[in-house]
Every structure is written in C-alpha cells, then in structure tokens.
Chain A
C-alpha cells in the first residue's frame, strides 16, 4: 500500500523532475529515461534515440573493442559474420543457378556429391573448425588476474565495489564505478545481493552472471586508458535498465594514486554551505544506509558515499554529477529510478537540498 502511494506520488512529481532535468541539461548530465504516464510514444522516442546514440559513440559497444578479451570476441564475431554471408551467398546463388539459369537435369553422381559433400562433409568440417577455434580461445577469456582483485556485488539496482590490491587485508570500498589499471589484467569476483544480475562491459570483454550466494569470476585487461560504460545484462527488476556504471581505465601510476585517494577517509566539508549540508546529512539519517568513512555515517545498505563527488555518474550510471543532478536525485529518487529503496527527500527545502548537494559533491 505504501509502495503504491509512493509510486503515484512519484509520478505526479515527474513533471517537476523533468523541468529540473531540462535546466540541468546545460551541464554534462544526461537525461534519465522518463516515464511520463499516458504518452507511450513520447516516452519511446528518447529511448530509441538514446539506444542509437549509445551505439555511435562506442562507449558501450562490442564492435569498438578496447580490451584484450573484447578484441578476441570481436574477431570471432567478424569471422563468423563474414563466413555466414559467404555461405548465404553460395547457397542462394546455387539455388538461383539451378532454378533460373541452368534448369536442366543434373547427373545423379553430381547431385549425390553435392548433397554429401556440401550438406554433410563441408558443414561438419566447418563447424568442427569453429568449435576447435572457439575452444582454443576460451581459456584465455578466463585467464587469472595479475595483482588487483575487484569484488563486485550486484544490488537492486547498483553495484557494490571493493578493491583488493595484492596482499590487502581490508578492501577499499566504492560503488557504481569500475576503475582498472590499463595494460594489466585485473581479477573480478562477482556476487549478488538478492537476485541474479550480470556484469558486462561490452568494450572490454564478455559478460558474466552474478548469483546470490555463489561467486563467479572473470578478468579484464583494458588495452589503453579510456572511459566506457557497463550495464547490468540480466533482468533484475523495475530499474534493471538503469543499473549501469562508468568504467575508467587509467595508466597504472594514475590508478595507484587514485586508489590511494579512495582509501582515505572523506574530505571534511569546506565552505559553510557544505558544512550545513553535512549536518542535514546527519539529521536526515542518511548514515543509516550510506557510509561516509571518517564520519558517523556507517550504513551499508546503500552505496558508500565517501568519495561520491569524484565519481562520473549518480544513481548507477543514471544521472550526471552536477549540483542540480545531486539535488534531483535526492529529492526525486523513486521517480528517476522506479522502486528504488531510497526514499525521495522532497520534503527538504530548496536551500537544504542545495547545501546537501554541495556537501556530497565536495566528497571527492
């Protein structure tokens, strides 16, 4: 009952949200997929546009490989596609030849040869060769890592991320963003909270499912520094499509210093607005679900926010990171991300929201 109330409530707020969103479009932020009731076509248009655009920039495309594993899959795809096109042309060309060009009877010997050679021997050899090739490259896809281990847990609908450098006893906790050292193979251990998810960075490698209570593993080796997008690839509930993440591969030295910074406790709030924001954060009980290391906030229900200001997206790849995005997210969480566990804090005054955003954005 409460859930339903919350939803209709959220829907009513959507227009406001969109207006806020539009004003914030001037920044780097992306618009979330809106769910305006009663106008399915208007809802679909940005979706289609988004899908097409996402295919263009190569940030989330298997056809723009930037990782060792993705490159292998890419060549596999092109070889098989080329082979399939050639075969299609041959088979249909033959059809055309015997039905339109040379319609005379063919000898029994030739017909038998064609059936046995082209229908039995040729496919058996081709499939056997493809199978052998596929099997020979399969173990490389699951090669062991070279030092850094990541532990990623799929939650509804975000990513709990732990970095375990070689020999570490405690992890460095982050969320909703994967950073990897370029040119090195990192081990990635996968798990899930309540339902099955799937971890997929198309530009870097294949995907691997995440199961509650059963660890799976994969490894990725970005070939160069760059920025890509990952996406949950197994339907996991209402906001499955909004369960994405930014992927950043960095030169190893940069990565080490970044990781060191991530291990440090949160930066204390700087200016007066941020200090007020920190007090609002405490007053509203945000720390019951979110951790900000170095403060009283130790919750582990939602994403760790210790360095949320340094991330490249909000709401697991859903929004950008301008101050307006922070405000929108905090006030209209459920409208942006349906059925999310975090309630929208739309009862906060505009000034309070601005202060809170200032505080969180300052957590770099």
Chain B
C-alpha cells in the first residue's frame, strides 16, 4: 500500500519542469509581438523596395498576420489568467514564496505581458493599415 502523503515517483521533477515551462511561457506573448513587428517591418520594406505593386496584397496579408498574432496572444493571456487564478484565490500579489505562489505569480506576470504585447501589436499594425502607399 502506498501512503498518500508519499510523493509520487518523479513528482518533484514533474513539477519543476512545469514551472520551468511556465517561465518560458511568459515570454511567448512578447515573442509574438516581436515576430509581428519584424515581419511587418521587413516585408513592407522588401515589397516597397522590390515590388511596390504588391503592396495592397501585402497589407491584406499583414492584416491577417495581425489577427493571428492577437489570437495567439489572447490564447496565451487566457491560459495565464487561469494560472494566476485570481478569481478563486483573490491573491493579487502572491507575496509568499511557496510553490503555489510562484506558480500564480508567473501567471500574473504573463497576463500583464500579454496585455502590453497586444497593445504593441495593435500600435504596430496601425501604420500598415493607415499608410496606403510606400511614400
């Protein structure tokens, strides 16, 4: 019979891996923002230099890329929101340094990063949508 309080085999390693992944996850929203920015900037520069005729199509494509980036960020933000678990715990700051607190804190940070990344993507998309020419 196994004692319930005994750790399951590899439980700590499992948990550690999950937290390490969560640490990576908080960077994903800013990464989506960076990818969107670099793609917009690079492709518009290339098209305007080499094939200005394709600008209309490019703007359409970048509009779709914007929606995609926002969808990815929204999904990451939603997952981070659940990880933060503010609704259930009511813990806004997670000041204590326990494993659960660290877990929720990473969610909190990821929510804020997702928010600012979404704003960044929208601001970055505005020139593509509003400037209709290469001028």
Q: From residue 128 to 143 of chain A, which have CB atoms closer than 8 A to chain B?
A: 128, 131-132, 135-136, 138-139, 142
Chain A nearest CB: distance from B77 CB in Å? 14
* Segment at the A interface, from B8-16, B21-29, B102-110, B127-135: B127-135
Contact (Cβ within 8 A) A128 B126? yes
Contact (Cβ within 8 A) B131 A138? yes
Contact (Cβ within 8 A) B119 A124? yes
A interface residues, how many (CB within 8 angstroms): 11
Contact (Cβ within 8 A) B123 A128? yes
A138 partner residues in chain B, CB cutoff 8 A? 131
Per-residue contact bits, chain A 101-134, to B (CB 8 Å; 1 contact, 0 not): 0000000000000000000100010011001100
B interface bracket (residues with beta carbon within 8 Å of A): 10 to 19
Given B115, B122, B127, B133, which contacts A128 in the complex, CB threshold below 8 Å?
A: B122
Identify whether the interface residues of B are mostly helix, strand, loop, or mixed. Answer: helix
Q: How distant is the Cα of A296 from the Cα of B83 in the complex, in angstroms?
A: 85
**A131: nearest chain-B partner, CB-CB:** B126
Q: How distant is the Cα of A128 from the Cα of B122 in the complex, in angstroms?
A: 9
Q: From residue 49 to 80 of chain B, which have CB atoms closer than 8 A to chain A?
A: none
**A140: nearest chain-B partner, CB-CB:** B135
B130 partner residues in chain A, CB cutoff 8 A? 132, 135-136
Chain B nearest CB: distance from A111 CB in Å? 12
Per-residue contact bits, chain A 148-168, to B (CB 8 Å; 1 contact, 0 not): 000000000000000000000
Binding site for A on B (CB under 8 A): 115, 119, 122-123, 126-127, 130-133, 135
Q: 10 A-B Cβ contacts within 8 A?
A: A120-B115, A128-B123, A131-B126, A132-B130, A135-B126, A135-B127, A135-B130, A135-B131, A139-B131, A139-B135
Binding site for B on A (CB under 8 A): 120, 124, 127-128, 131-132, 135-136, 138-139, 142
